[in-house]
Amino acid sequence: MRAVVVALVLAVLVVVAATPAEAHRLRVFATVESGVIEGYAFFVGGGRPEGAAVRFVRAGELVHATTTDAAGAFAWRPEETGPLTVVVDPGGGHTAEVTLGAERFGAAPAGEATPAPASQAASPDALDPKIEAAIEAAVARQIRPLLEAQAAAESRIRFNDVMGGIGMIVGLAGVGLWARTRTRARDDG
């Protein structure tokens, strides 16, 4: 009986301790603003890796490599837009990656906008490429905090998951005890 009470107290303490916690795990946040890929790597439990290798991979091919700065951040302006994957590897067993889809690149950056084809310029519905790029940049700037908050929220440990895990362990113990009892009953009988 005493053992059960001790076990219950321990379990409750563990759950209370674990609730506000976050896992030790590497994550990457990356966004595209005006054609520049920028972002940072972060350990979910706190801390950002400095000097970690950052690889930009497109269709399985390494297109650019750099390292993170003191704040764990990186930035690179790709020559051509298109979906790519950012892989951060600080060594020591943690790696993380994030894939930026084609939709994240949008229109060409304003500074380097190529002259619009004559047919498009002539169409009354077409926006000036500069306006389009400005809209892209404004939207990217405004949704960035949302994306950052979402990346942080996604990696937060949820109370339900912790409880579910503990429940699974208790269930496994129950299954084990049941199996032992059956074995013993068969041996006795």
Partner 1 sequence: MHLQDGVLSAPVLAGGAVLAAAGVGWGLRRLDEAAIPRTAVLAAAFFALSLVAIPLGPTSVHLVLGGLMGLVLGAHALPAVAAALVLQAALFGFGGLASLGVNTVILAGPPVLVAAVARPLVVRAAPPLAAMAAGTAAAASVALSASLMAAALRLSDVAYAPAAPLVIATNVPLMGIEAVVTASIVGFLLKARPDLLGRSAEVRP
> Which residues contact partner 1 by CB under 8 A?
2-4, 6-7, 10-11, 14-15, 17-18, 21-25, 43-50, 91-95, 157, 161-162, 164-166, 168-170, 172-173, 176-177, 180-181
Minimum distance of partner 1 from residue 94's CB (angstroms): 6
Q: How far is the CB of 160 from partner 1 (least distance, A)?
A: 9
DSSP one-letter code for 59: T
Q: In the bound complex, what is the minimum distance in angstroms from residue 164's beta carbon to partner 1?
A: 7
In this complex, which beta carbon is closest to partner 1, that of residue 21 or of residue 149?
21
Residue closest to 108 by CA, chosen among 135, 145, 90:
135
Nearer to partner 1, 9 or 121 (CB): 9
Q: Which residues lie closer than 8 Å to 150 by C-beta, 6 or more apart?
A: none
Work out how close the CB of 171 gets to partner 1 at its nearest, in angstroms, rounded to a whole number. Answer: 9
Alpha-carbon span 183 to 186, nearest angstrom: 5
Please calculate the CA angle 24-40-61 and round it to the nearest 5 degrees: 100
Q: In the complex with partner 1, which residue's Cβ is closer, 102 or 177?
A: 177
Indicate the residue among 11 and 121 with the shorter CB distance to partner 1: 11
By C-alpha distance, which of 23, 1, 21, 19 is closest to 11? 19
- Ramachandran sector of residue 78 (left: φ over 0; alpha: ψ -120 to 50; beta: rest): beta
